[in-house]
Amino acid sequence: MRNLLFAFFICLPVSCFSQFGLNIGVKAGVNFANVTNATEIRAENHTGYMVGGYISPKTKKNFGYRSELILSRQGYNYKTNTNTGNVNLDYLLLPQLITINFSKFIQLHLGGQAAILLNANVDSTNGDSGGSLLDYFKRFDYGFVGGADIFPFRKGPFVGARINISFNNVSAGGAQPNFIPGVDAKNNVVQVYAGWRL
């Protein structure tokens, strides 16, 4: 019974929003993340996940707008002279995008993105961090977003890809562990995903 009530309170608002002229979609996929300017720790690509959704006003024009909310695991793998491991950075992403429709099947999107760091930890040959590393990383990030979605049908499944380029430094600076890059390092993420448009 509890599951039925939960489904009801989730599906009812979605149905109502659709009636008021909004496109609603959910999506999940894979992140290929790294940080720039981190040669001193020999940073490499890090695979994570992303899951979230979007809303956008329905329009018959070629240009539109959409707002998203995404949970994104990013970070980097590293190698130092004494240690190897991977750093996990969990962000809440808030992209605000201009959309450009090329036919009914392809939509380009670009815009800005704010991000809030929710958690940071490391798994290394010396063991895990034993707790959060939030104090060593900046809690707020921002940057540019660009990508495209392909819609085979008017509603239902879609696939897409995106690149996120951060403008803010990932490191908080000051005294920090040797696996955290210098203050000029920034997040770069490529996302590949599939979703469902209601």
The pLDDT assigned to 151 comes to 92
The pLDDT assigned to 4 comes to 44
CA distances in angstroms from 126 to 29, 135, 180, listed in the order given: 30, 20, 15
The pLDDT assigned to 114 comes to 97
Nearest-angstrom CA–CA distance, 81 and 96:
41
Nearest-angstrom CA–CA distance, 20 and 61:
17
Burial class (CB in 10 A: 0-12, 13-18, 19+), 108: middle
Burial class (CB in 10 A: 0-12, 13-18, 19+), 141: buried
The pLDDT assigned to 10 comes to 46
- The single-letter DSSP state of residue 45 is -
Domains in the chain, ordered, with CATH? 24-197 (2.40.160.20)
The pLDDT assigned to 13 comes to 47
Half-sphere exposure of 106 (CA within 13 A, CB side): 5
Give me the torsion for CA of 94, 100, 101, 102, rounded to 10°. Answer: -130
**Average pLDDT of adjacent 10-residue blocks, the chain of 198 residues:** 44 49 93 93 94 90 93 94 90 96 91 96 72 87 96 91 96 86 91 95
Please state the pTM of the whole predicted model. Answer: 0.85
The pLDDT assigned to 198 comes to 86
The pLDDT assigned to 42 comes to 92
| Nearest one of 112, 110, 114 to 91, comparing CA atoms | 114
